[in-house]
Amino acid sequence: MKLVKAEIIAIGDELLYGQIMDTNSHWISQELDLVGVKVVRKTTVGDKREDILTAFSEAEKRADLVLITGGLGPTQDDLTKPLLAEYFNCPIQEVPEAVAAITEFFKRRGREMTPLNILQGHLPSCCQYVPNEVGTAPGMWFERGETYWMSMPGVPHEMKKLMRDFVIPKLPEIFELPIIFHKVIKTAGIGESWLADLINDWENALPENIKLAYLPSLGHVKLRLTGFGTEFKSIEAEVDNQIQLVLPKIQKYVYGYNNETLETAIGKLLRENRKTLALAESCSGGYITHLVTTVPGSSDYLQGAVVPYHNEFKQKILRVKKETLESKGAVSEETVQEMSKGVRQLFGADFGLASSGIAGPDGGTAEKPVGTVWIACAGEGFIETKKLQLTQDRLLNIQLTGVAVLNLLRICIEKYDK
């Protein structure tokens, strides 16, 4: 099976001058990787005739598939369409179906259409018109020699829809592609190298047709298994079988699969167990509650939260004892224990979570340097605590505390509530 090579060309001055970050190329890379097409080059050029034509001819020499984004606006500085017509040597002519679609697009939104918009329905005669249901610039599909081309608008959601509806489904028709199945194991609470140590034997014994990738991000490590083969169902079964083999080694770090997040995972656990949650966030300053409330339907299990940014409110609202704060300090195991109990009681919740630490950049001492954070989870008959020693960076400390607190909750639900 021949490797299918793709190149991505992003067109637009705004991408070169740093006004807009090109997230399209990254997204396209990910999608193509999932179906077994290899991106071999990405190029960004401005709205300039020679630069665009050079990018086209360089790409044609190397690639089986050329994906172009941007430069399809209705104004004169958008050059992609006329230059494609020039490059493929065919005239631009009206495509009645495209003009009708654009007219309909404006009508539906009750917006004025200009003559320039109508011209967006005129396309090079040698391309296949690909309807864009969510915008005015159509997609254009070209074939010449052994290279296939797709031109798409630069607006991310328009590009994504054309990729999902047209390009990705078309690839297996024109190329011989490997059959690929991906599954991602999501973990938290363990670093990449420790995780690698734990699963080393399993990794070395993986069959030839299953590849493993470590994808670390803030406080998380994702394990992506990619299986290759000739028949989808059997690859899926093979990958799932390997996951069953590795799970016993890493079970306590695994919170979900594929698109699941720690927030959605704890939401699912709480809902399944019909349990509720309350948070007392000192150093994390509302961030964890924000994470929890980004999940639709979180009001089913979240009762509420308090951010007591000074000791007097830890006492007054959460009933932390004055003596505890005076003898142990706000950043201490005893204080987060009382905070987690207090917030659980205040909101009548099943679980109470608490954080208290020195986020920085100031406020550190020799005994409790910046990055020292205590967290706690209180429930019926238990309190679990953990001390974190994080970084010098305030925002990073807030984010890492968030992952650690939600992961502590997950562990407590698994441990005490099942």
Task: Choose one: 99-107, 164-172, 246-254, 302-310; the region binding a copy of itself (CB under 8 A).
Answer: 302-310
Strands 65-69 and 147-152: parallel
Residues shown for the chain: 418
**Helices 394-416 and 262-272: angle between axes, nearest 10 degrees:** 30
Query: In 3D, which of 160, 116, 165 has the Cα closest to residue 136?
Result: 116
Q: How many CB atoms lie within 10 A of CB 128?
A: 12
Whole-angstrom distance, CA of residue 241 vs CA of residue 228: 14
- If the CB atoms of residues 9 and 123 are measured against a copy of itself, the closer one turns out to be 9
Query: In 3D, which of 385, 356, 189, 370 has the Cα closest to residue 285?
Result: 356
Whole-angstrom distance, CA of residue 103 vs CA of residue 113: 7
Q: Which of 267, 308, 352, 379 binds a copy of itself (CB under 8 A)?
A: 308
User: In the range 29-58, which residues lie near a copy of itself by CB under 8 A?
Assistant: 29-33, 38-46, 48, 51, 58
Strands 179-188 and 122-124: unpaired
Asked whether position 361 contacts a copy of itself by CB under 8 A, the answer is yes
- If the CB atoms of residues 102 and 346 are measured against a copy of itself, the closer one turns out to be 346
DSSP string, 157-204: HHHHHHIIIIIHHHHHHHS---EEEEEEEEEESS-HHHHHHHTHHHHH
Nearest distance from C-beta of residue 94 to a copy of itself, angstroms: 30
- If the CB atoms of residues 27 and 202 are measured against a copy of itself, the closer one turns out to be 27
Asked whether position 347 contacts a copy of itself by CB under 8 A, the answer is yes
- If the CB atoms of residues 10 and 127 are measured against a copy of itself, the closer one turns out to be 10
- If the CB atoms of residues 43 and 69 are measured against a copy of itself, the closer one turns out to be 43
Sheet hosting strand 382-389, strand order edge to edge: 277-281, 351-357, 372-379, 382-389
- If the CB atoms of residues 233 and 274 are measured against a copy of itself, the closer one turns out to be 274
Strands 220-229 and 92-94: unpaired
- If the CB atoms of residues 293 and 385 are measured against a copy of itself, the closer one turns out to be 293
Asked whether position 305 contacts a copy of itself by CB under 8 A, the answer is yes
Nearest distance from C-beta of residue 122 to a copy of itself, angstroms: 27
User: In the range 135-194, which residues lie near a copy of itself by CB under 8 A?
Assistant: none
Query: In 3D, which of 109, 115, 79, 111 has the Cα closest to residue 94?
Result: 115
Query: In 3D, which of 256, 298, 254, 255 has the Cα closest to residue 278?
Result: 298
User: In the range 241-280, which residues lie near a copy of itself by CB under 8 A?
Assistant: 279
Asked whether position 15 contacts a copy of itself by CB under 8 A, the answer is yes
Task: Choose one: 13-21, 111-119, 267-275, 384-392; the region binding a copy of itself (CB under 8 A).
Answer: 13-21
- If the CB atoms of residues 238 and 281 are measured against a copy of itself, the closer one turns out to be 281
Q: Which of 242, 303, 332, 337 binds a copy of itself (CB under 8 A)?
A: 303
Name the site residues for a copy of itself (rule: CB under 8 A).
15-19, 21-23, 25-33, 38-46, 48, 51, 58, 213, 215, 279, 281, 285-290, 292-294, 296-299, 302-310, 313, 317, 346-347, 359-362, 394-395, 398
